[in-house]
């Protein structure tokens, strides 16, 4: 089913809010939300159930698997009572890494929307996991949604880190009040 760009942008803005929370905590600012896919292409975002929401927490949890997508997938599976997340859409600010791409494939998430490609570690663009011929599930990938906002979020975070303003988990960045 095709939704208008404004539909996807509304949920990417929620993912960007999650990314901002990660940045404030000193985490790489990636955010993710998962929704139930609406039955009608003219559905309003306000009426769509949000079943998973997370941001990176690898530093806080001291867990290399605590990526936004992994945490949101766990929440969504709990919300629906099944590990199969068919009839969902996953929104994430940065292209999923290979680990997250694998989890997306295993969870049978049919649509993945991301803002910014990851030319070094992208699970789809670099490692071709989403389209690999040996995989039995190939999600539809929509990229570039609010790409400039997603890029600015990451760029600002790493600029702050280089300038010595990196926060420790649980502390605010020096550039914020």
Active site residues: 69
Q: At what angle are helices 98-106 and 68-80 packed, to 10 degrees?
A: 10
Please report which helix (H) or strand (E) contains residue 52, including its range.
Answer: strand 50-55
Distance of alpha carbon 147 from alpha carbon 80, whole angstroms: 30
What is the sign of the dihedral through the CA atoms of 97, 166, 58 and 85? Answer: negative
Q: At what angle are helices 5-24 and 147-162 packed, to 10 degrees?
A: 10
């Amino acid at each position: 089913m095709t939704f208008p760009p404004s539909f996807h942008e509304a949920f990417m803005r929620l993912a960007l809010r999650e990314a901002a929370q990660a940045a404030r905590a000193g985490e790489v600012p990636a955010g993710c939300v998962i929704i139930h896919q609406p039955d009608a292409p003219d559905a309003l975002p306000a009426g769509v159930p949000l079943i998973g929401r997370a941001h990176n927490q690898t530093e806080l949890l001291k867990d290399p698997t605590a990526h936004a997508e992994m945490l949101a997938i766990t929440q969504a599976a709990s919300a629906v009572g099944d590990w199969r997340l068919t009839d969902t859409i996953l929104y994430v600010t940065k292209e999923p890494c290979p680990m997250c791409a694998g989890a997306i494939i295993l969870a049978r998430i049919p649509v993945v929307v991301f803002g910014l490609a990851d030319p070094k570690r992208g699970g789809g663009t670099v490692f071709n996991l989403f389209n690999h011929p040996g995989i039995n599930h190939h999600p539809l990938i929509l990229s570039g949604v609010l790409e400039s906002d997603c890029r600015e979020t990451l760029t600002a975070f790493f600029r702050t880190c280089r300038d010595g303003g990196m926060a420790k988990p649980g502390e605010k960045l020096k550039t914020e009040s």
